[in-house]
Amino acid sequence: MYPKIDSTMPLTSGNEAEAVENALAKINMKSALQKAIDGNQFRICYQPLFDVSSGNITSLEALIRWHHPILGVIQPNQFIPIAEQTDLVKPIGAWVIRSACLHNMALQKAGRRAMPVAVNLSARQLLDKNLTAIIGSALTNSGLNPAYLILEITETAAIQHLAQAVRTLRHLKKFGVKIALDDFGTGYSSLSYLDQLPIDILKIDRSFIEGMSEENGKMTITSAIVELAHKLGLEVVAEGVETRDQLSCVTGIRCDKIQGFLLGKPVSFYSLQKML
């Protein structure tokens, strides 16, 4: 028989109650994520990247969305952190890699112009000993040329596990894939390790693009980053371009590609086929 509870007394302190609530939310989210994996509730959207000189779409970024049967579309920032903590990010990430490769190959078979597709790798995936096998299998099973797959890592993930990141990325480069460093400028030691990572593409974080104008320091700093990247032989992408003024600025400092809502929002695979 359960003990009687005095409803006039708090069961826990405010901090304890919050901790319990957070723990329950995490358990529920983990269970829901597992059901999402088993029930095929994830979808991929694709955001185009545009060449600054020609204005043409030259590559794509795969972005995951969770289509919950009750809650509707859930954005990645609402569930990826939990997936990271619970290790479910590994099967979710593997699914994204496989799907992106299959979609890319399907576009090419349908007569669309071949272009690379970028897939984000989390810090946990970088540490996964099976990552190389997962990517190799995805390329083999889809028949996709490795040159049309870009693997993106965030600057934060690289900083946290630099030695492991360098080893893993060098191994992956042997497949013939390209490596992009995402969110550049958000870390604390960017320039000191930039030449250590075997990267091909540098994506400047949107925080540099927001509020950029010819009259403030952001443009000067970003211009220096672009110049340095070009001297290292890297392609430069400006993220988060949302206004005409921003477009004019990143064009003026010779960014190679742009990504942002001004020219292209994420679209479903079905819409992407029509767009291309």
Higher pLDDT pick, 220 / 185:
220
Question: Which class for 189: exposed (0-12), middle (13-18), buried (19 or more C-beta within 10 A)?
Answer: exposed
Indicate whether 255 belongs to any domain. Answer: yes
pLDDT for 8: 41
Q: What is the percentage of the chain residues whose pLDDT exceeds 70?
A: 89
Indicate whether 252 belongs to any domain. Answer: yes
Containing H/E element for 150?
strand 149-154
Q: Provide the number of structural domains found in the chain.
A: 1
Question: Which class for 251: exposed (0-12), middle (13-18), buried (19 or more C-beta within 10 A)?
Answer: middle
| 190 confidence band (pLDDT: 50, 70, 90) | low
Place of tokens 């930039």: 194
**Cα(239)–Cα(257) distance, integer angstroms:** 9
Indicate whether 203 belongs to any domain. Answer: yes
Indicate whether 155 belongs to any domain. Answer: yes
SS3 content of the chain, % helix, strand, coil (to 5): 50, 20, 30
pLDDT for 217: 80
Share the mean pLDDT of the chain.
88
Indicate whether 1 belongs to any domain. Answer: no
pLDDT for 14: 62
pLDDT for 141: 98
**Cα(250)–Cα(248) distance, integer angstroms:** 6
Indicate whether 23 belongs to any domain. Answer: yes
Place of tokens 């007394």: 9
Does residue 37 contact residue 91 with C-beta atoms inside 8 Å?
Answer: yes
**Cα(18)–Cα(41) distance, integer angstroms:** 29
**Chain centroid offset of residue 144 CA:** 20
pLDDT in tens, 139-187: 999 999 999 999 999 888 888 888 888 999 999 999 999 999 998 887 6
Indicate whether 8 belongs to any domain. Answer: no
Alpha-carbon torsion, ordered 133, 135, 140, 142, to 10 deg: 140
Quickly list DSSP for 48-95: EEEETTT--EEEEEEEEEEEETTTEEE-HHHHHHHHHHHTTHHHHHHH
Identify the bridge partners of residue 48 per DSSP, sorted by sequence position: 60
pLDDT surpasses 70 at 44: yes
Domain range enclosing 149: 14-275
pTM of the predicted model over 0.85: yes
| 188 confidence band (pLDDT: 50, 70, 90) | low
The letter for the amino acid at 22 is N
The letter for the amino acid at 226 is V
Indicate whether 4 belongs to any domain. Answer: no
pLDDT in tens, 234-261: 999 999 999 999 999 999 999 999 999 9
pLDDT surpasses 80 at 20: no
Which one, of 40, 166, 22, 134, lies nearest residue 81 by Cα? 22
**Chain centroid offset of residue 57 CA:** 18
Provide the 10 A C-beta neighbour count for residue 7. 7
pLDDT in tens, 91-129: 999 999 999 999 999 999 999 999 999 999 998 999 899
CATH of residue 182's domain is 3.20.20.450
